[in-house]
Amino acid sequence: MRLLAVCDLSKRFGGLAAVDGVSFDVHEGTIKAVIGPNGAGKSTLFNLITGFDRPDVGSVDLLGCNIVGMNPHKVVRAGISRTFQNTQLFEELTALDNVLVGMHTQLRTGFLGGALRLPWTLTEERRARERASYLLRLVGVEQYVMTPAADIPHGMRRLLEIARALAAAPRLLLLDEPAAGLNNRETQSLARTLYRIRDEGVTIVVVEHDMGLVMEVSEEIVVLDRGRKIAEGPPLLIQKDAAVIEAYLGEEGEYV
């Protein structure tokens, strides 16, 4: 089933076309990768899909509903969660609290219920903590439950941000360079984590420079170069695609 349909999406910054007429579909239950040289427009694409930036033209449909122009916090409610290229954790909060904030849209306690500690608030709170602990285990950062995010090692911080994004119970998860700064072993474990997340029914789109990871996990790849989509297809075809090789050779040859 088609979960997300990006159609003719474009965004200019001054004279620069950061994203230029990009279209693609994401099918439910798959892992899709978006790759491209530095400055290709990958992060901007994510910002356009999640409402952090507004496209000049084009549409983004989630299950048939156009979500362009929606406030980013509403996009989360609509079912799309994301992580950032520069992790945006709540540094002073523990890993558990970070994930509990991620559950914001899933919980209902308001100011009154919170201040009065009503019985159902406590029930909700207990369930939330159980779910948060589960998510921390799912991504493998359970040993840091009570550690402030600021004190968690780099690789684990990226995983924690994924757990926080999952906490909103998204249908679609957008990950912006989750393997950046991870060592080989951590990247291997990230691949397994992505499979586990997909098997829980969450569709994933991942922006990534680590080609090993991209080729391993993704069923389909979209290649951007200078804002335009230059190729789309399964990993084996993308590896042989002349335009893709050209784009990467123009930049840094060792990628593909």
Partner 1 sequence: MRWTRRRLGITLLGVMGIAIAAVPFLTDDRYLLKVLTFVGVNAIVVAGLALLFGYAGQISLGHAAFFGLGAYMSAYLTTTHQTPWLLAVLAGTGIAAAGGLLLALPSLRLKGHYLAMATLGFNEIMSVLFVELRGITGGNNGLSGIPFPSIGSFVIDTPAGIYLLVWGVAALAFLGAANLVRTRPGRAMRALHGSELGAVASGVDTTRLKVQVFALSAALAGLAGALYAHAVGFISPTQFSLEFSILLVAMVVVGGTGSLVGPFFAAVVLTLLQYVHALIPGLGNDVASVIQDWEVDISGMVMILTVIFLPGGFAALVRRKRIGVAVDGETV
Ligand X SMILES: Nc1ncnc2c1ncn2[C@@H]1O[C@H](COP(=O)(O)OP(=O)(O)OP(=O)(O)O)[C@@H](O)[C@H]1O
Token duo for residue 204: 């994933």
Should residue 30 be labelled a site residue for Mg ion when binding is judged by CB under 5 A?
A: no
129 contributes a contact to partner 1 by CB under 8 A: yes
- CB 3, CB 62: distance < 8 Å: yes
Residue 125 contact among partner 1, ligand X, Mg ion, none, beta carbon within 5 to 8 Å by kind: partner 1
User: Restricting to residues 12-41, which ones interact with ligand X according to CB under 6 A?
Assistant: 13, 16, 18, 36, 38-41
Residue 248 beta carbon to partner 1: minimum distance, rounded to whole angstroms: 30
Among 10, 43, 44, 121, binds partner 1 (CB under 8 A): 121
Q: Are 190 and 182 in contact (CB under 8 A)?
A: yes
Residues 6+ apart with CB under 8 A from 163: 95, 98, 99, 102, 132, 135, 136, 138, 139, 141
- Interaction of residue 43 with ligand X, rule CB under 6 A: yes
**Using the rule CB under 8 A, is 57 a contact of partner 1?**
no
Q: Does 162 bind partner 1 (CB under 8 A)?
A: no
- Considering only residues 20, 22, 33, 42, which one is a binding residue for ligand X as defined by CB under 6 A? 42
Which residue from 195, 96, 182, 183 is spatially nearest to 143, judged by alpha carbons? 96
Strand partners, 17: 12
Q: How far is the CB of 22 from partner 1 (least distance, A)?
A: 22
